[in-house]
Structure 1
Amino acid sequence: MTRLSVNINKIATLRNARGGNNPNVVRVAQDAERFGAQGITVHPRPDERHIRYQDVLDLKEVVTTEFNIEGNPDERFIELVKRVRPDQVTLVPDAPDAITSNAGWDTLRHADHLRRLVDTFKSDGIRVSIFVDANERIVEGAKATGTDRIELYTEPYAAEFYDNREHAIASFVQAARVANDLGLGLNAGHDLNLDNLRYFAENIPGLLEVSIGHALISDALYFGLENTIQMYLRELSNV
């Protein structure tokens, strides 16, 4: 079964909007695990507008499932990840002022840089995943960096899903097949939700993990966090 990693950035956004420590990010992560989440994802950004670097250190002490730290690998990020040594680091090429991630790495253009990063993290025993678009050549380029996994950037799939889901998923299926043939582990994330998740998981061969934050936390406002996590898990378990 594809594993569900819950991205708790939006919990930190809500906390930061008011100040103080309500909702408590650490408590929410612990509850998410108790409710069935198989991993916790955070994406610290340089301005700390949601997850703070101290949050990452605090979470390291309590997360008992898979801990995934994603972000743009600037010097501060690299230092944080090497200090925390999470189960997985996901390298994302988002600009400091980006509202959210909006593209994957060009693994051909940035091959040398990515190779150095992969070596840096793997030397500390951290599994590495590279955030990429669903493009065969980009997937092949990722393999050449020595990364363990790739994470497919799924916003284009989600954007076209309601109009033509067969066409929306076609490039992702092909990219997944290439990843499988190359021996790359396969993750996915961005704009996956209760409407489009099952179809994606049903059709993507070898899908190991999905990371979901915004949609899941938004659904939790209506359904409650425990019920929402169970709803997402059911979408994956029925594949």
Structure 2
Amino acid sequence: MTKLSVNINKIATLRNSRGGNVPNLLKVATDIEAFGAQGITIHPRPDERHIKYEDARALKNIVTTEFNIEGNPVPKFIDLVLDIKPTQVTLVPDAVDAITSNAGWDTLTHKDFLKEVIATFKNAGIRTSIFTDANIKMVEGAAETGTERIELYTESYAQQFSLDKENSIAPFIEAAKTANKCNLGINAGHDLSLDNIEYFKENVPDLLEVSIGHALICESLYLGLENVVNMYLNKLK
């Protein structure tokens, strides 16, 4: 079964919009685990516009499943991850002013930098993953950095799925095959939803984990959080 890691950034965004502590981020994370999710993902950004650095530290004390922290490895982020020591760190090349992640790493251009950062995290016992486009060259470049996993950036799949699902999935199948040849574990995320997740899971070989936040929270407004978590789990079996 592919593991479901729920990104709770949107819960923090809702909380921050009114100040205070409603909804309670820690309670939501605990409930999501109780509903069956196998991981919690957060993506703190330097401006702390949703997940705050203090949230990351507090979550470390209550998350009992896999804890995945995503972000651009600037010095402040590196220090946070080394302090918390989550299960996994996912390196994402997002700009400071980015609304959301919008590209994978150029693993060839940034190979030396990534190798240095990844070695730092691996020496601390933290599993590493690189956010990567579904591009064979970028996957091969990722393998040269020492990372243990890649996270396939799935926005293009999600955008094209309703128009031509076979062509939309094709580059991800090839990227996954390349990752398998390079002994890289495969994660995936970005705009995956109840509509498109099952087809992705069925066609991408050896998919270990998906990280889903925005769609899952939006779907929960209509269907309920516990129900939606279990709907994803059923599709990922």
Normalising to structure 2: TM-score of the pair?
A: 1.00
CA–CA distance in 2 between the matches of 1:117 and 1:150? Answer: 15
Distance, in Å, in 2 between the alignment partners of 1:58 and 1:224 is 25
User: Which residue of the partner structure matches residue 102 of structure 1?
Assistant: 102
Please name the residue that 1:77 is paired with.
77
- Aligned AA (1:90): T
Aligned ranges 1:149-168 → 2 under 5 Å = 149-168=149-168
1:166-185 matches, within 5 Å, as 166-185=166-185
1:7 aligns with 2:26: no
Secondary structure at the counterpart of residue 58 of structure 1: helix
> In structure 1, how many angstroms separate the alpha carbons of the residues matched to 2:188 and 2:148?
14
Deviation string for 1:90-136 (max 9, x for gaps)? 00000011000000000000000000011000000000000000000
What 5-or-longer segments of structure 1 have no aligned partner? none
Deviation sequence 1:54-82 (CA, Å, 0-9, x none): 00000000000000000011010000000
Distance in structure 2 (CA, Å) of the matches to 1:184 and 1:163: 30
- How many residue pairs are counted as aligned between the two chains? 237
Per-residue deviation, residues 195-229 of structure 1 (Å, max 9, x unmatched): 00000000000100000000001111111111110
Equivalent position amino acid for 2:18 in 1: R
TM-fit CA distance, 1:173: 0.2
Distance 2:138 2:224 in 1: 38
TM-score under structure 1 normalisation?
0.99
* Distance in 2 separating the partners of 1:72 and 1:220: 28
Given residue 193 of structure 2, which amino acid in structure 1 is its aligned partner?
N
Residue 73 of structure 2 aligns with an amino acid whose one-letter code is P
Q: Distance in 2 between matches of 1:95 and 1:215?
A: 22
Aligned counterparts of 1:229 and 1:209: Cα–Cα separation in 2: 14
Q: Deviations over 1:10-62 (max 9, x none)?
A: 00000000000000111100000000010000000000000000000000000
**Amino acid aligned to 1:224:** G
Give the match's secondary structure for 1:21. coil
Taking the aligned partners of 1:131 and 1:186, their CA distance within structure 2 comes to 10
Coordinate RMSD, CA, aligned: 0.4
* CA displacement at 1:83 relative to structure 2: 0.1
5+ residue gaps in structure 2?
A: none
Aligned-residue sequence identity (percent) comes to 67
SS of equivalent residue, structure 1 residue 121 = helix
Q: Runs ≥4 in structure 1, deviation > 6 angstroms? A: none
